[in-house]
Amino acid sequence: MGRVYLRERVEHTMMADHFRIREMVPTDADAVVQLAGLFEPVSTTVFQGIEAEDIAAWVREHLARPEWAGFVAEVEGEVVGFVFCQDMEGQPSRFVFPQAQEMAYLLYLAVDEAFRGKGIARELIRACENLARTWGRTGLLLDVAEDNPALRLYKRLGFKRLGAQVFLSKPL
């Protein structure tokens, strides 16, 4: 069975209270960069230490790939949250467990602090879940720092710990 990609499905648009979740498009890149910047330099994300124009280019490049997708949350036309997801089927995995190939990877979730607690993160994750189903994936996968406050949200939404990875270093 062939893979189903984002561009082949009906656009996911959702209104909940006063925010709207929609598919991310390349013109959202600058807003995503600005929002991601709110979490730097404390973030340990993929964007840490990268110049804004390089992040915007990364966003546009990855949105053009069929195995990547993003969603944004808008309030009165302003992007206040976003999420990226990747179909892991056939992708080189940085994870040590084989079931990663059967999942979609939630790479980055961010919601402006002023708009937290309104269900935006939950709905962004739900958008990724719905897309993962169209891709034929069995679940969502993410990694998060132990002290990230979002860990509580992920547990409430049914995410379970798969194991622990320990990072070690040795000065030379």
The tens digit of pLDDT for each residue in 133-168 reads 999 999 999 888 788 888 899 999 999 987 766 666
Specify if 164 maps to a domain: no
Specify if 52 maps to a domain: yes
Please tell me the total count of domains within the chain: 1
Specify if 72 maps to a domain: yes
Interacting residues of 2 by C-beta distance below 8 A, sequence separation 6+: none
Q: What is the pLDDT of residue 4?
A: 42
Specify the CATH number for the domain of residue 57. Answer: 3.40.630.30
Interacting residues of 24 by C-beta distance below 8 A, sequence separation 6+: 32, 59, 63, 69, 70, 71, 72, 82, 84
Specify if 172 maps to a domain: no
Helix-, strand-, coil-residue percentages of the chain, each rounded to 5: 35, 20, 45
The tens digit of pLDDT for each residue in 7-16 reads 333 334 444 5
- Find the domain containing 140 and state its range: 6-156
Q: How far apart are CA 105 and CA 68, in angstroms?
A: 9
Specify if 91 maps to a domain: yes
Helix (H, G, I), strand (E, B) or coil at 8: helix
Q: What is the pLDDT of residue 12?
A: 41
Whether the bond into 98 is cis, omega within 30 of 0? no
Question: Which range, of 25-29, 117-121, 126-130, 142-146, averages the lowest pLDDT?
Answer: 142-146
The tens digit of pLDDT for each residue in 72-84 reads 999 999 999 999 9
pLDDT band at 43 (very low <50, low <70, confident <90, very high): very low
Specify if 166 maps to a domain: no
